[in-house]
Amino acid sequence: MLSKKDFVEAGSGALVAISGGLAGHYAALGMTPIQWAGAACAVLGSVTLAVAVRVWPTPATARRRED
């Protein structure tokens, strides 16, 4: 069964692939320097999100003491 963390990691990886693919596609068609900057920001933002998802610590679960 997929956990929430697995789903989020897969989704962020897909976001990186999609934004990179779209940036490459439109770059091949021809973009202005402003569009290049926007595409670079989109790709870097999605990579930043993917890294943050993978290194962010999971919340600790407290166990109840039994006295």
pLDDT in tens, 38-60: 999 999 999 999 999 999 887 77
How far apart are alpha carbons 8 and 14 in whole angstroms? 10
- Is 70 exceeded by the pLDDT of residue 67? no
**Cβ neighbourhood burial of 44 (10 Å; 0-12, 13-18, 19+):** exposed
pLDDT at residue 31, rounded to an integer: 94
Cβ(39)–Cβ(23) below 8 Å: yes
- Within 8 A by CB and 6+ apart from 12, the residues are 46, 49, 50, 53, 54
Where residue 65 falls among pLDDT bands split at 50, 70, 90?
confident
Percent of the chain topping pLDDT 90: 72
pTM above 0.85, yes or no: no
